[in-house]
Amino acid sequence: MTTQEEVQLVPMLVGGEPTLAKAGGTISVGNPARLNRPIAKVPRALEDDVNTAVQAAYTAFQSWRRVQPRERGRIMLRIADAMEAAAEEIAVLIATETGNALAPQSRPEAKGAADVFRYFGGVAGELKGETVPLGEDLLVYNRREPIGVVGGIIPWNSPVLLGALKIAMSVTAGNTLVLKAAEDAPLGVLRMGNICNDFLPPGVLNVLTGYGEEAGAALAVHPLVRKLSFTGSTEVGKSIMHAAADRIVPVSLELGGKSPVVVYPDSDNDTVVQGVVAGMRFTRQGQSCTAGSRLFLHESIHDSFLEKLVSKLQALKVGDPLDEATDMGSIINQKQFDRVCQYIEDGIGQSGAELVLGGMPPQNGPLTEGYYVTPTVITRANNDWRVAREEIFGPVLVVVPWSDEEEVLRMANDSHYGLAAYVWCQNIKQALNAAHRIDSGWVQVNRGLGQIPGHSYGGFKMSGMGREFSLEGMLDSFTQRKSVTVNLA
Output the smallest distance, CB 481 to ligand ADP, in A.
28
C-alpha–C-alpha distance, residues 422 and 431, integer Å:
10
C-alpha–C-alpha distance, residues 174 and 149, integer Å:
10
- Residue 16 DSSP class: T
Angle, CA of 73, 76 and 81, to the nearest 5°: 135
Give the 3-state secondary structure of 326-369.
CCECCCCCHHHHHHHHHHHHHHHCCCCCEEEECCCCCCCCHHHH
Among 148, 216, 286, 358, binds ligand ADP (CB under 6 A): 216
- Contact segment (CB under 6 A) with ligand ADP among 58-66, 76-84, 208-216, 320-328 equals 208-216
List residues bridging with 251 in a β-sheet: 228
Smaller CB separation from ligand ADP, 242 or 482: 242
State yes or no: residue 28 binds ligand ADP (CB under 6 A).
no
State yes or no: residue 72 binds ligand ADP (CB under 6 A).
no
Find the binding residues for ligand ADP in span 429-488 (CB under 6 A). Answer: none
Among 26, 233, 350, 382, binds ligand ADP (CB under 6 A): 233
Give how far Cα 405 sits from Cα of 280, 402, 414, 434, 437, Å. Answer: 22, 8, 14, 9, 11
C-alpha–C-alpha distance, residues 149 and 68, integer Å:
18
Output the smallest distance, CB 21 to ligand ADP, in A.
15
Smaller CB separation from ligand ADP, 32 or 146: 32
Output the smallest distance, CB 213 to ligand ADP, in A.
5
Smaller CB separation from ligand ADP, 153 or 435: 153
Output the smallest distance, CB 348 to ligand ADP, in A.
24
Among 53, 56, 116, 217, binds ligand ADP (CB under 6 A): 217
Find the binding residues for ligand ADP in span 141-160 (CB under 6 A). Answer: 153-155
Find the binding residues for ligand ADP in span 237-266 (CB under 6 A). Answer: 239
State yes or no: residue 225 binds ligand ADP (CB under 6 A).
no
Cβ-Cβ contacts under 8 Å for 170 (sequence gap 6 or more): 150, 152, 176, 177, 227, 229, 478
Residue 150's H or E segment, with its range, is: strand 149-153
Q: Which residue is nearest to ligand ADP (CB)?
A: 212
Q: 3-state class of 200 per DSSP?
A: coil
Find the binding residues for ligand ADP in span 166-185 (CB under 6 A). Answer: 180, 182-183
Closest alpha carbon to 106 in 413, 343, 300, 329: 329
Among 45, 220, 378, 388, binds ligand ADP (CB under 6 A): 220
Active-site annotation, residues? 254, 289
Q: 3-state class of 263 per DSSP?
A: strand
Go through the chain and tell me how many residues it has.
489
Output the smallest distance, CB 168 to ligand ADP, in A.
18
Output the smallest distance, CB 287 to ligand ADP, in A.
8
State yes or no: residue 392 binds ligand ADP (CB under 6 A).
no
Among 104, 188, 232, 319, binds ligand ADP (CB under 6 A): 232
Closest alpha carbon to 485 in 134, 223, 157, 174: 134
Smaller CB separation from ligand ADP, 69 or 212: 212
Output the smallest distance, CB 45 to ligand ADP, in A.
11
What phi, psi does 30 have (nearest 5°)? -115, 165
State yes or no: residue 54 binds ligand ADP (CB under 6 A).
no
User: Which residues would be at the binding site for ligand ADP (CB under 6 A)?
Assistant: 153-155, 180, 182-183, 211-213, 216-217, 220, 232-233, 236, 239
